Amino acid sequence: MTAEQYLEGQILLIDKPLKWSSFQAVNKLKYALINKAGLPKKFKIGHAGTLDPLATGLLIVCTGKFTKRITEIQGQAKEYTGTFYIGATTPSYDLETEIDQTYSTSHINEILIHETVKQFLGEIDQKPPIFSAIKKDGVRLYEHARAGETVEIAFRKTTIYEFEITRIALPEIDFRVVCSKGTYIRSLAYDFGKAMHSGSHLTALRRTKIGDYNVTNAIDVTLFEQSLNQ
């Protein structure tokens, strides 16, 4: 693909690696395109929907004139797969922080798990995690959290279109979720454990789809960079 084609506008499907931030992935692509495809230093590039560093999977990156489509793509339904760990919570609702509380799981069985799933289908009220990039009083929530500050977080409306349990091997439960923009799967993990009168946190997360875009058609960042040499 030529520099002109990237400037005209492309949608790149990237399979984001574990522990990379979405910003790092976009930056890696940006400098690869500048250094290997001959793009000018100030060309437009951006992603359509952040993935946490501890999540992998589909990151849609738009270049050139296609950056105008970012808002439209971000608004599409997203599909995730992953794992809840039942019986313990963490402040971040995932593995970014250590376990802070443990709970009994002796009452949890397959019937309770599948019944609990039904509570989360459709429009729900969800509170974003304190360890998130949402701003409160001009400061990102995770900055408040790391400073040990207590912050009131408002509930938000979100929609869960599909919620399927794909494996039960307590304390682990694997799932597949299709949800609207703005849904926090970490919060879903926390709320799911609470609804079963226990605790839960997210131990694995992979974004598999955004609208009709599928991670099966995505490329690793490093492989994309290597492809520019060919």
pLDDT digits (tens, 9 = 90+) for 1-14: 888 899 999 999 99
Among the listed ranges 20-29, 80-89, 151-160, 210-219, which one has the minimum average pLDDT value? 151-160
Nearest-angstrom CA–CA distance, 204 and 81: 8
Nearest-angstrom CA–CA distance, 186 and 194: 13
Q: Is pLDDT above 60 for 145?
A: no
**Looking at residue 131, what is its pLDDT?**
63
Mean pLDDT (the chain, rounded): 91
* Residue 94 bears catalytic tag: no
Catalytic residue among 52, 100, 125, 220: 52
Q: Mean pLDDT throughout 188-198? A: 97
pLDDT digits (tens, 9 = 90+) for 25-80: 999 999 999 999 889 998 999 999 889 899 999 999 999 999 999 999 999 999 99
pLDDT digits (tens, 9 = 90+) for 74-97: 999 999 999 999 999 998 899 998
Rounded to 10 degrees, what is the CA torsion of 193, 196, 197, 202?
Answer: -10
Structure tokens at 2: 């030529």
Scan for tokens 């270049």, then name that residue: 63
141 against 35, higher pLDDT: 35
Q: Is pLDDT above 80 for 194?
A: yes
Task: Characterise 205 by phi-psi region: left (phi > 0), alpha (psi -120 to 50), beta (else).
Answer: beta
Q: CA distances (Å), 190 to each of 79, 131, 203, in order?
A: 18, 13, 11
